[in-house]
Amino acid sequence: MTAQILDGKGLAEIIRAEIKEDVARFVAETQVQPGLAVVLVGENPASQVYVRNKEAACVKAGMKSVMRRLPTETTTEELLALVAEMNADPTIHGILIQLPLPKGIDEQRVLDAIDPEKDVDAFHPENVGLISQGRPRFLPCTPYGVQQILVRSNIETKGKRVAILGRSDIVGKPMALLLLQKGIGADATVTVCHSRTENLAEILREADIVVAAIGKPEFVTGDMLKPGAVVIDVGINRVEKDGVDENGAPIKVSKLVGDVDFESAKEVASAITPVPGGVGPLTVTMLLLNALNAARRQTAAAQASK
């Protein structure tokens, strides 16, 4: 068996085209351009790449992009003041604080300070609570992207056993909440695994769908999977691999890999996401959709209050 490759990059392009059309229609109807603000604190190289990608995607979709870059020395109070300023700005409909923040900044205070109506990452406790009740305002971007891959690839989740590796607030926990809900791309029986889980391989071998999000390079191997399982690899890890130069001499090559050993897993799974080109492009895409929906909500509320 060789698995079907789930092309997240191609799917992201399709959804972004849909979003671009919806943004143009929304602007024509309301004369309001959806605005997304992204705040980057410090000089983290990976974060800088992510922020540039978000800015480019935002502009391409026809949205207003507001970039705020702050020095590493920024204090919690200074960042809170900026958040308050953006909360009050009617032209900014979505606010995203790029994580991780530098040491010394109270990350939780900052995230909690974002207006829940502008919390397009869906990290605010109010939004998390709404998700758990099955009436979300916004859905967290990476789990939302995973769900879109499953739905648009016609992968059945109803009644299926899903194993999620990782219990982070960003992926693992919200992923479980989404799959537990009633409806399309949900209705699953979910097990959340973590660093204290016993008999992990046995749990994985019983799963129809495996979502790996633990940050350990190529941790999940083919012999840990149920034959025919669907594998969604959320991990992005940079590792050194053996390679050769143009003269055939051995060298070390930097490579991006996921939390799943792709080569062994693809021989067992029925479908699998690659790294790169799998879940990653969908994360930014769903951020754009959340920003558009935030603009819709806030514009409707403003019109209703007149």
98 is catalytic: yes
**What is the pLDDT of the chain when averaged over all its residues?**
95
List the catalytic residue out of 22, 98, 115, 233: 98
Q: Would you say 131 and 74 are in contact if contact means Cβ atoms under 8 Å apart?
A: no
- Domain borders along the chain are 30-116, 141-279
Q: How confident is the model at residue 47 (pLDDT cuts 50, 70, 90)?
A: confident
pTM, two decimal places = 0.94
What average pLDDT does this structure show over 27-47? Answer: 94
Q: Known catalytic residue: 121?
A: yes
- Assigned architecture for domain 141-279: 3-Layer(aba) Sandwich (3.40)
pLDDT at 1 (0 to 100)? 66
Strands 237-244 and 250-257 come out as antiparallel
Average pLDDT over every residue of 92-106:
95
For residue 276, pLDDT beyond 80: yes
Instruction: Name the catalytic one among 22, 54, 115, 233.
Output: 54
Which pLDDT score is estimated for 249? 83
Could you confirm whether 112 is annotated as catalytic?
no
Q: Specify which of 33-47, 236-250, 266-280 reaches the highest per-range mean pLDDT.
A: 266-280
Report residue 161 as tokens. 């056993």
Give me the half-sphere count of Cα atoms (radius 13 Å) on the Cβ side of residue 25.
9
Q: Domain spanning 30-116: which CATH class is it, in words?
A: alpha beta
Give me the pLDDT at residue 246, please: 82
**pLDDT at 193 (0 to 100):** 98
- E-strand stretches of 75-208: 94-97, 161-165, 189-193
Same fold, 30-116 and 141-279: yes
In a 10 Å sphere around its CB, with 0-12 CB exposed, 13-18 middle and 19+ buried, how is residue 295 labelled? buried
Q: What is the pLDDT confidence band of residue 44, given thresholds at 50, 70 and 90?
A: confident
Return the minimum-mean-pLDDT range out of 23-32, 47-56, 187-196, 291-300. Answer: 47-56
Question: Could you report the per-residue pLDDT of 194-231, keeping only the tens digit for each?
Answer: 999 999 999 999 999 999 999 999 999 999 999 999 99
- Given the residues 22, 115, 121, 259, the one annotated as active site: 121
Please determine, for residue 306, whether its predicted confidence score (pLDDT) is greater than 80.
no
Share of the chain above pLDDT 70, in %: 100
